[in-house]
Structure 1
Amino acid sequence: MTPLPDYFCPADGTRVPGGSLDWCCPACRGPLDLDFAPTPGPLKSLGGRVNSLWRYAECLPLAAPTTSLGEGRTPLVSLTDGVAAKLDFLMPTLSFKDRGAVLLAELALQLRPRQVVADSSGNAGTAIAAYCARAALPCTVYVPEGTSAKKLEQIEAHGARLRVVEGDREATAHAAREAADEAGVFYASHVFNPYFLHGTKTYVHELWEDLGGRLPDALVVPVGNGTLLLGAALAVAELHAAGLIDRRPALYAVQAAAVAPLAHAWEQGADDLVGVTPAAPTFAEGIAIPRPPRARQILRAVRESGGAFLTVTEDQIRHAQSDLASRGLYVESTGVACWAAVRAGALPQPRPRPGEGMPAAVVPLCGAGLKTGPARA
């Protein structure tokens, strides 16, 4: 078994051994990063490899998976001239969260806890439940009241114990973290555990491969806790450091205007959250996070990329979901936020780049519409 890399705290540098069940920095209780800086292989080395995200094995902190469900390698399709969509709702559990969940389940298999605990507004919970079922690991998923009944059904179908918490998403996270502090518990947190980010980064590795060793000018990403955006930033840094891309795309982070703490901090020119953003109803429930723990990292990643934060209204989300459905793509309301931003003209006018099939911007369609149904006024 390959030794596990150590963790470190990006805020104060505290180090945690790689085989530990500690889920946060023991000094500041903040999220951890992984002391892991891989070198991706050249494009020509990928031929003939397994057709899943594990084809990027040299970039992943775990090898030889036993829990894979074939996740990754989702299609890239054109939406308009210059804009393409990556169909990450075509995953085993119907959301992009499978990219990170498989890494967490694989890690848990090595650590052998007595219990796996996760908290989620739905999609991460369904993904963790599925991969724990695949790995025959006992799993409990905490969700807030009001979570989509279809997501609850999916979590329970995979055999996970369901704990519905009275209150909002933050109350749910608090309950799960209390359970995670118990001995022998592995906290499969898509926010605090950096292995999740090393799974989501494969989204960009796939784009790079599918676009012939290039990346678009802009990556437009929905942001609540920022797991897809931070994974994208990891992949871009890896590809650039290896000399496999000569320029970095701008990262555009999209939030629902109803719950937009990061966009507010961005507007204020702040390096961290400013004030308290109250929870508010929004169709984009999956990104309605008032206080994301990795806020500083998210803001820094967008700033260093030359991108920006964008917000979309409830009407824009609703119309974007209908528009995508009319194009044959039925996506849950959270997953259409980026397309809503593009339709609203929030990006610089995208223009096709030289080369057949090369978009100027790519948006992810992160979850299937069947998980939540249509957004209704």
Structure 2
Amino acid sequence: MTHALPGYVCPEDGTRADVRTAPWCCPVCAGPWDLDFAPDPQAPLEPASGPNSLWRYASALPLPGAFSVSLAEGHTPLVPLAERVHAKLDFLMPTLSFKDRGAVMLAELARRLAPQRVVADSSGNAGTAFAAYCARAGLQCEVFVPAGTSPGKTDRMRAHGAAVRVVPGGREAAAAAAREAADLPGVFYASHVFNPYFLHGTKTYAYEVWEELGGRLPEVLVLPVGNGTLLLGAALAVRELARRGVRTPALIAVQAEAVAPLAAAFAAGARDAAPVPQRATSAEGIAIPAPPRARQVLAAVRASGGTFLTVSDARLHEARRDLARRGLFVEPTAAACWAAVGPGAPGDPLAGRTAVLPLCGAGAPSGPTA
């Protein structure tokens, strides 16, 4: 029932808005929304009694009542990579990336709001996820992608029934085009950056780690960061689980060396990140020059006692080959965390602590390993 949906709140100026009538961003500062929601720490959290999907954490999710949109997403396995280090295989999601976690939440939200159409912007994986889940929900979907997006990914979006709009320029140009469309009446903007319901989907990553480790979290969560949606979701879950007495881990954020505005800001002790040039990198999924939630990402990492690491493309390719030789074939971006903390990584970033890292996206079936 839409009247029970938690509303939006701006983290910068406190502006509040009803989810049914709100613009896609804060009308005062034009920044992304947060959600006016915190699960009751006394409410039973018994995932084993729920469905074999992320909806098993329904009591911690902001969409009340029965859900109807699902492809059995979530509940992905943990496998050991090294002593005290596990990988979570989120590339085993229905559309082969962790973006399913947030996409299913936004598709269920949109289904309840019943817009005329859903628009999204993406460089690949998010667009594929939105196309699939909108198809599942019976919603008309339009995805704006930057020129140069993998034909394999745009073909998959179209296969799910989405209209794909190729926008000249890079990732920011595609986002601008989608936001222009989002301002029209009857349009729901399924933004994995601006809409906080997406973050409450990605937080299930950390809830699953907690469940899979027998009701605890590792000492470190290593997470790739571009826009920071997986890290911010994990930080949400960590805070919520802390209210249930669970020990909190440090968050280690990993960026591509070529495009690392957040790592630079963290090193400088800055509260916000200055935009950086868009440079070529194999880790295109995290190559975001000006992340809108930069302040929140920096604050979350600092509050956890964590840090930022960067990886070169050469190191990324080494890590990807190493993962493939361990039976795990992932896209380049998905190898970033292993590149940062795995064999051959400079220093000793984990310092012997237990850690979990995600393998976020599957490698193309016929793609090279380097």
TM-score by length of 1: 0.94
Deviation track 1:26-82 (CA, whole Å, cap 9, x = no partner) reads 111100000000035788733332111101011111142211000000000000101
Partner of 2:356: 362
Secondary structure of 1:179's counterpart equals helix
1:302 pairs with 2:301: yes
Cα-Cα RMSD: 1.5
Q: Write the deviation string for residues 296-331 of structure 1: whole angstroms up to 9, x where unpaired.
A: 000000000000010000001111111100000000
* Alpha-carbon distance between aligned partners in 1 of 2:27 and 2:11, rounded to the nearest angstrom: 13
State the secondary structure of the residue aligned to 1:322. helix
Equivalent pair of 1:119/1:141 in contact (CA under 8 Å): yes
Aligned equivalents of 2:293, 2:45: Cα separation in 1 = 35
Q: How many residues align?
A: 366
**Residues 1:197 and 2:202 aligned together:** no
Q: Distance in 2 between matches of 1:251 and 1:323?
A: 23
Cα offset, 1:347, TM superposition: 4.8
Give the alignment of 1:89-238 within 5 angstroms. Answer: 89-238=91-240
Q: Does 1:278 align with 2:277?
A: yes
Distance in 1 (alpha carbons) for counterparts of 2:308 and 2:282: 19
Contact kept? 1:333, 1:374, Cα under 8 Å? no
Q: Report the AA paired with residue 277 of structure 2.
A: P
CA offsets, 1:342-369, max 9 Å, x none? 12145534536xxxxxxx0011000000
Amino acid at match of 1:103: M
Structure 1: distance between partners of 2:366 and 2:122: 15
Displacement, 1:371? Answer: 7.3
Any stretches of 5+ residues in structure 2 without a counterpart?
none
Letter in 2 for 1:297: Q
Give secondary structure in 2 for the equivalent of 1:370. coil
Residue equivalent to 2:249: 249
C-alpha distance in 1, partners of 2:18/2:44?
A: 33
In the alignment, the residues of structure 1 paired with residue 22 and residue 181 of structure 2 have an alpha-carbon distance, to the nearest angstrom, of 13
Q: Is the 8 Å Cα contact of residues 82 and 350 (structure 1) preserved in structure 2?
A: no
What is the correspondence of 1:43-122 to structure 2 with a 5 Å cutoff?
45-62=46-63, 63-122=65-124
Question: Does structure 1 conserve the Cα–Cα contact (< 8 Å) formed by 2:118 and 2:190?
Answer: yes
CA contact (8 A) 2:43 2:59 kept: no
The 1-side partners of 2:59 and 2:139 are apart by 26
**Residue 374 (structure 1) shift:** 3.1
2:347, 2:159 → 1: CA distance? 40
CA distance in 2, matches of 1:226, 1:47: 29
| Residue 28 of structure 2 is aligned to residue 34 of structure 1 | no
For the residue of structure 2 that corresponds to 1:242, the secondary structure is coil
After superposition, the Cα gap between the structure-2 partners of 1:148 and 1:268, relative to the gap in structure 1 and judged at 3 Å, is same
After TM superposition, the structure 1 = structure 2 runs for residues 272-351 of structure 1, keeping only pairs within 5 Å, are 272-274=272-274, 276-343=275-342, 344-345=345-346, 347-351=348-352
Residues 159 and 372 from structure 1, CA distance in 2 versus in 1: closer, same or farther, beyond 3 angstroms? farther
In 2: Cα distance, 1:109 partner to 1:309 partner: 37
Amino acid at match of 1:370: A
C-alpha distance in 2 between matches for 1:259 and 1:44: 39
Q: What SS is found at the alignment partner of 2:56?
A: helix
Change (3 A) 1:268 1:372: farther
Q: Percent identity?
A: 65
Report the Cα offset of residue 179 of structure 1: 0.5
Instruction: Note if contact 2:121-2:143 (Cα within 8 Å) is conserved in structure 1.
Output: yes
User: Is 1:264 paired with 2:264?
Assistant: yes
Matched letter for residue 290 of structure 2: R
Q: Report the Cα distance in structure 2 between the residues aligned to 1:108 and 1:183, rounded to whole angstroms.
A: 14
8 Å contact kept, 1:115–1:139: yes
TM-score (norm 2): 0.96
Alpha-carbon shift at residue 137 of structure 1 (Å): 0.4
Q: Which amino acid aligns with 2:334?
A: G
Contact kept? 1:150, 1:371, Cα under 8 Å: no
**Inter-partner Cα distance in structure 2 for 1:349 and 1:202:** 23
Where structure 1 has 5 or more consecutive residues not aligned to the other structure, the ranges are: 353-359
1 CA distance for matches of 2:99 and 2:339? 21
Query: What's the CA shift string for 1:232-278, capped at 9, x where partnerless?
Result: 000000000122x0x2100011000000010011111100013x310
Query: Structure 1: which amino acid aligns with 2:259?
Result: V
The aligned amino acid for 2:34 is D
Q: For residues 37 and 44 of structure 1, do their structure 2 counterparts lie closer, same or farther at Cα, with a shift above 3 Å needed? A: closer
2:15 matched to which residue of 1?
14
C-alpha separation in 2, matches of 1:232 and 1:374: 31
Deviation at 1:6? 1.2
